[in-house]
Amino acid sequence: YFNLLNHLIPYYVKEGKTYLSIAFGCTGGRHRSVVLINSLANYLEGKEYKLFVKHRDMNKEEIKIKSDL
């Protein structure tokens, strides 16, 4: 997806857009999505873009459901 963003972001800037939201989701929001967005942030840090990273579900309590299955 880095190549896709490298291609698309300059067009957003050229059109005068002031922000771009990118979201990743996974079942719990604490592992895969966190790794993906941190990887993307590290990649984009070297560019001229201002970044704001928010991990929405990192501090939510985990709900465990017991099942007879």
> For 13-55, what is each residue's pLDDT tens digit?
999 998 888 888 777 656 788 888 889 999 998 888 888 888 7
The parent domain of residue 12 ranges over 2-45
7 within a domain of the structure (yes/no):
yes
Confidence at residue 62, expressed as pLDDT on a 0 to 100 scale: 62
24 within a domain of the structure (yes/no):
yes
Confidence at residue 33, expressed as pLDDT on a 0 to 100 scale: 82
28 within a domain of the structure (yes/no):
yes
Task: State the total domains in the chain.
Answer: 1
State the Cα–Cα distance between residues 69 and 60, nearest whole angstrom. Answer: 26
Beta carbons within 10 angstroms of residue 33's beta carbon: 19
Predicted TM-score (pTM) of the model is 0.66
58-61 contact pairs (CB < 8 A, 24+): 58/29, 58/30, 58/34, 60/29
30 within a domain of the structure (yes/no):
yes
61 within a domain of the structure (yes/no):
no
16 within a domain of the structure (yes/no):
yes
Q: Which residue has the higher pLDDT, 3 or 47?
A: 3
Confidence at residue 9, expressed as pLDDT on a 0 to 100 scale: 92
Q: Which residue has the higher pLDDT, 57 or 38?
A: 38
55 within a domain of the structure (yes/no):
no
66 within a domain of the structure (yes/no):
no
